[in-house]
Structure 1
């Protein structure tokens, strides 16, 4: 069946189209004035092996991102399938985002969510304006992975798991 294309007339149409593409869920966290601060993003993209860089996007209206931008180090936790509650909590606009979320600290202020599939510690290299978002480019300084951990997937406005094919 051939689809009829139309201009992206509104944000709802764009959200439906963008929601057709699955993405991982990443917690971006740092310690600010002795307390963890963080948010969840689903726009994480590996960028370069040399130098080691990753990127993610943050909406301009975020009240948390300007605080995180001031941090010396950022902790990026690539959330796993067992961390749906942490993703929801870190994605909320109000209340304690870290309620029920166990974290550990890295170097110079980076904060990581325990139980993640992978952790990346880095510094903010640059920020590029992009419409109603900013693209953050982070230089990777240290990494760790959890063997066998499955990533948490966001698709169609829902959390999902990957289907593993038999070997």
Structure 2
């Protein structure tokens, strides 16, 4: 006796509604970079966060449809460059398809071999720790091997736009 095929359940929240709600969460802006067999790869990401202090782990996401996915899956090491307030141009450059993203970009190679972008607010050199598929993205977890930062305002992403902080605080933190 044939059994009924389960129906594919529709998402509980519409895509646009979900995106609009998430747009209210301010994030920093990063450029993730790596050395691939065919050259350097990099892209702009705001899906970045810390996971653990011991060991030091970070997480970021890349769309499964990204042309860079295979290169990052194959990379043993990569860098997370946290962009500074004056690096909007870099954020835009690394988010555009079909461009030489590294042309005219000042960077140096870290000990892990990944590009560290000059002028970034911070950078973290990472070793591949784990990959996890999640919906239409791949989650990359990296163990931080080295990091550094400067005391500058970061570039922010909020409401679908790049933003800069004016440095004001919102009351006491106690």
TM-score calculated relative to the size of structure 2: 0.85
Partner of 1:159 in structure 2?
162
CA contact (8 A) 1:32 1:109 kept: no
CA distance in 1, matches of 2:158, 2:112: 34
CA contact (8 A) 2:153 2:167 kept: no
- How far off its partner does 1:94 sit? 1.6
1:102 counterpart = 2:106: yes
Partner of 2:87 in structure 1?
83
RMSD: 1.7
CA contact (8 A) 2:112 2:126 kept: no
1:138 counterpart = 2:142: yes
CA distance in 2, matches of 1:35, 1:80: 25
- How far off its partner does 1:70 sit? 1.3
Partner of 1:41 in structure 2?
45
Q: Which has the larger radius of gyration?
A: 2
Q: Which runs of 5+ in 1 are unaligned?
A: 1-6
CA distance in 1, matches of 2:35, 2:61: 20
CA distance in 1, matches of 2:98, 2:38: 20
TM-score calculated relative to the size of structure 1: 0.88
CA contact (8 A) 1:73 1:107 kept: no
Partner of 1:123 in structure 2?
127
